Structure 1
Amino acid sequence: MRKKFSAEEKMAIVLEGLRGKKTIAEICRKHSISQGQYYKWRDKFLEGAKTALETSGNSSQAAQYQRKIQELEQIIGKQAIVIETLKKTIIHPGGK
């Protein structure tokens, strides 16, 4: 039966390999994983690190999304008021 590794365990194994104190083969034997599996985890880890370091573009994009959400919420609020007004007009024409 295969062992399920948590994200923290995978990260520790990848970091152990990146430190270079042991060979990848030694690390893989120690943790009973294939070298192919190690390299898949390493590549995902490095891609995630790259994405995390590109925060300047992502944070401004997140701010743009937040502004758009606020704008849409205001539009929805105004439309809700119009709908309620129209309901009252249709149900109680002439303000009765």
Structure 2
Amino acid sequence: MQGRSFNPEFKLKIVRAVLSGEKTVIQVCREHNLSESLIHNWKKLYREKGEVAFTTATQSRTTPATTEQQEITALRQRVAELERLAGQQALEISILKKVSEMLNTSASPNGVK
């Protein structure tokens, strides 16, 4: 895998697929013959700098406004990831509550609390 280079669009596609939960890191690694550490590095870069993290050196010269925009992009991505995680946890809590109710109902005499 050494010596290969990947264009910014490819890196963004991979990182977005992983962060959105569409695919796992393992799935992406197998599909594209990539190392897990590479994907984790791309994710870290993306979280820190946003899409600009994957631009070429000549494109990465930034002005303060661009740096601020990068930070905004990175924060938006982080918010989206946290919202996704919160949604997953809310679903898990809901399922656990239903299971708990079912167990409480079946444990009481005649199914009545």
Structure scoring higher RCO (CA < 8 A, sep ≥ 6) equals 2
Select the structure that is richer in helix.
Answer: 1
